[in-house]
C-alpha cells in the first residue's frame, strides 16, 4: 500500500484504478455477520427453538433474494442454554470476535439486561424480539415485541367483562413477572375489578400444589398467569388434574409464546385466553403466504409459531435489513438513524412500524383462545402504540439515555 500511495502522488493513479475497484468488489462480497443468541436447550428452549427457526428462515430468505448491499448474510447462532453467564459470554464474542453487524437475542428480561450493556459498550446494534414488561430506553436497542399497554391492556378487560372481577395472579419471580403483575392490577382496577392475590414462583418450580390450595381458598373469578418456561407448564397440568380447570377460567400474558399449547392436552389447555402481536392462526393473505413458504422450507421440522416471539424475530430481522437498505451501509449509527425514521414492515402479523421516540414498535394485537393445540383468534386491534414506554422514554429529546425505566404503574 505504501508503494501504491507514492505512485498515485506521481500522477499514475489512473493506471491503478482497476486494482482498487477489484479490491472493493472483493470486500463487497464479504459476508455481513448476524448473530443470534437464543436458547436451544435449557428451561427456556420452548421459546428459543422457534425463534432460531424463524431467524434461520429470515436469513435464508434474504440470501436467496441477493443478500444485503450485494453481500451475503452469515448467521452465527449461539445457544446460551438458559444460562445468564453464557449470554454475557456470547454477547462479548459476537461483538469482539465475530464483529457482528447486529445481534438478535435474549428471551427473558434478565437475559436482555445481561446482553444490552455489553453490546452498548462495544457499539454493536441489538434487537430484542420478545414481548416484555416495557421501559427499555436505549438508542442502541430496538424492542420489537409487544408491551403491557399493547397486550395486557387487551386481555384484562376481556376477562373482567366475560368472567368476573376477582383476579388471582401467578407470575414468574423476576422483573417480567413482577412488573407485569402490577400492570394486571392497574388494568383490573381501571375496569372495576380487583386482584385478590399475587404469587411469584422461581423459574425452576414444578410443584404448584400449595398454590392451587391457596387459590381454592381465595375463590377468585379468574386466574391470570404470567408464568414462564418449561418448568411452569406443570401448573397447567396440576390445575386440570385438581379438577379446577372447568371451575375457574384462566387467561395469560405468556401462555402460547412457546409450545405450551402443543405439549398440553386439549383437556389441560383449551379455553386459556392470551393476547399477543401474532398467532399462527392470524387469517391474512400475508400470513398464509409466509406459512406456506415456511413449511415448504422447514418441512417436518417446522415449529408451531403459536405466540409472537418467533414471528417477532422474523420481523425484527427484516426491520433491521430494511434499515440497512435505507442507510446503504451496515455502519451502526447510520442504520440506527434509518430505523428511527419510521421503518415499516408489512409482514405476516400485519404492519409493524418502529417508533423513533422509543425504538419500540406500533403493531397489531390479537386476542385468542387456546383450542385443540392451537388458537382461535377472537379479536384484533390495529396499530397499537407502545404508550407505556412512551410515557418514560424520549430518545428524540434525550438520545443518550441508556437504561430500563421501571414505569410507575399508578395503582
- pLDDT by residue, tens only, the chain of 411 residues: 222 222 222 232 332 333 323 323 333 479 999 999 999 999 889 899 999 999 999 999 999 999 999 999 999 999 999 999 999 999 999 999 999 999 999 999 999 999 999 999 999 999 999 999 999 999 999 999 999 999 999 999 999 999 999 999 999 998 899 999 999 999 999 999 999 999 999 999 999 999 999 999 999 999 999 999 888 999 999 999 999 999 999 999 999 888 888 889 999 999 999 999 999 999 999 999 999 999 999 998 899 998 899 999 999 999 999 999 999 999 999 999 999 999 999 999 999 999 999 999 999 999 999 999 999 999 999 999 999 999 999 999 999 999 999 887 765
Q: What is the CATH number of the domain that holds 300?
A: 3.40.50.2300
pLDDT score, position 29: 72
Answer yes or no: do 234 and 293 share one domain. no
Residue 371 falls inside a structural domain = no
Looking at 258, 276, 294, the residue that finishes a domain is: 276
Residue 170 falls inside a structural domain = yes
Helix (H) or strand (E) holding 334: helix 332-340
Answer yes or no: do 140 and 187 share one domain. no
User: What is the rounded distance in angstroms from the CA atom of residue 144 to the CA atom of residue 147?
Assistant: 9
Answer yes or no: do 44 and 109 share one domain. yes
pLDDT score, position 229: 86
Answer yes or no: do 208 and 60 share one domain. no
Main-chain phi, psi angles of 244, to 5 degrees: -95, -20
Residue 411 falls inside a structural domain = no
Give the three-state DSSP class for 232: coil
Answer yes or no: do 327 and 245 share one domain. no
Full residue range of the structural domain in which residue 185 is found: 152-276
Residue 370 falls inside a structural domain = no
Looking at 254, 276, 298, the residue that finishes a domain is: 276
Residue 324 falls inside a structural domain = yes
pLDDT score, position 282: 94
Please give the distance of CA 208 from its chain centroid, rounded to a whole number.
28
Contact between 364 and 277 (Cβ < 8 Å): yes
Strand blocks (E) in 70-165: 73-78, 102-105, 125-128, 136-138, 141-143
Answer yes or no: do 292 and 243 share one domain. no
Answer yes or no: do 41 and 98 share one domain. yes
Instruction: Write the CB contacts of 66 (distance below 8 Å, at least 6 apart in sequence).
Output: none
Answer yes or no: do 291 and 325 share one domain. yes
pLDDT score, position 300: 87
Residue 170's DSSP bridge partners are 199, 225
User: What is the rounded distance in angstroms from the CA atom of residue 278 to the CA atom of residue 195?
Assistant: 27
CB atoms within 10 A of CB 376: 12
Answer yes or no: do 179 and 134 share one domain. no
Residue 21 falls inside a structural domain = no
Answer yes or no: do 399 and 289 share one domain. yes
DSSP 135: -
Answer yes or no: do 237 and 195 share one domain. yes
What is the total count of domains within the chain? 2
Contact between 52 and 80 (Cβ < 8 Å): no
Residue 14 falls inside a structural domain = no
pLDDT score, position 410: 65
Residue 53's DSSP bridge partners are none
Residue 108 falls inside a structural domain = yes
Closest by CA to 129, choosing from 34, 2, 248, 27, is: 34
Answer yes or no: do 64 and 177 share one domain. no
Cα–Cα separations (whole angstroms), residue 97 to 52, 85, 90: 21, 17, 10
Looking at 241, 276, 311, the residue that finishes a domain is: 276
Amino acid at each position: 500500500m505504501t508503494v501504491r500511495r507514492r505512485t498515485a502522488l506521481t500522477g499514475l493513479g489512473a493506471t491503478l484504478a482497476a486494482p482498487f475497484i477489484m479490491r472493493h468488489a472483493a470486500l463487497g462480497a464479504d459476508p455481513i455477520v448476524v448473530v443470534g443468541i437464543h436458547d436451544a436447550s435449557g428451561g427456556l428452549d420452548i421459546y428459543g427453538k422457534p425463534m432460531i427457526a424463524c431467524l434461520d428462515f429470515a436469513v435464508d430468505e434474504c440470501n436467496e433474494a441477493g443478500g444485503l448491499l450485494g453481500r451475503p448474510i452469515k448467521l452465527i447462532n449461539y445457544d446460551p442454554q438458559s444460562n445468564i453467564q453464557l449470554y454475557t459470554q456470547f454477547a462479548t464474542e459476537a461483538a469482539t470476535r465475530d464483529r457482528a453487524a447486529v445481534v438478535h437475542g435474549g428471551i427473558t428480561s434478565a437475559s436482555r439486561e445481561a446482553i444490552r450493556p455489553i453490546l452498548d459498550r462495544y457499539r454493536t446494534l441489538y434487537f430484542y424480539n420478545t414481548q416484555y414488561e416495557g421501559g427499555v430506553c436505549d438508542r442502541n436497542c430496538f424492542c420489537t415485541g409487544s408491551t403491557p399497554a399493547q397486550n395486557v391492556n387487551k386481555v384484562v378487560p376481556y376477562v373482567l367483562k366475560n368472567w368476573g372481577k376477582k383476579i388471582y395472579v401467578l407470575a414468574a419471580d423476576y422483573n417480567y413477572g413482577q412488573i407485569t403483575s402490577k400492570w394486571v392490577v392497574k388494568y383490573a382496577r381501571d375496569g372495576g375489578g380487583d386482584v385478590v392475590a399475587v404469587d411469584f414462583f422461581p423459574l425452576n418450580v414444578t410443584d404448584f400444589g400449595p398454590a392451587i390450595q391457596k387459590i381454592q381458598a381465595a375463590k377468585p373469578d379468574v386466574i391470570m398467569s404470567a408464568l414462564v418456561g418449561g418448568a411452569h407448564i406443570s401448573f397447567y397440568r396440576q390445575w386440570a388434574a385438581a379438577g379446577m380447570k372447568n371451575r375457574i377460567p384462566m387467561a395469560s400474558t405468556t401462555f402460547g409464546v412457546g409450545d405450551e399449547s402443543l405439549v398440553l392436552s386439549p383437556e389441560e389447555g383449551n379455553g386459556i385466553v392470551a393476547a399477543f402481536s401474532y398467532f399462527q392462526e392470524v387469517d391474512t393473505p400475508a400470513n398464509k403466504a409466509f406459512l406456506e413458504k415456511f413449511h415448504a422450507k422447514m418441512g417436518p421440522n417446522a415449529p408451531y409459531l403459536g405466540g409472537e416471539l418467533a414471528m417477532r424475530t422474523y420481523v425484527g430481522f427484516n426491520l433491521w435489513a430494511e434499515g440497512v437498505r435505507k442507510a446503504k451501509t451496515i455502519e451502526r449509527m447510520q442504520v440506527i438513524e434509518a430505523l428511527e425514521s419510521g421503518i415499516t414492515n408489512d409482514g405476516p402479523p400485519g404492519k409493524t412500524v418502529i417508533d423513533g421516540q422509543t425504538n419500540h414498535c406500533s403493531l397489531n394485537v390479537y386476542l385468542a383462545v387456546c383450542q385443540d393445540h392451537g388458537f382461535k383468534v377472537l379479536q384484533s386491534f390495529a396499530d397499537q402504540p407502545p404508550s407505556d414506554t412512551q410515557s418514560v422514554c424520549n430518545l428524540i429529546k434525550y438520545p443518550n439515555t441508556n437504561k430500563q425505566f421501571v414505569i410507575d404503574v399508578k395503582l
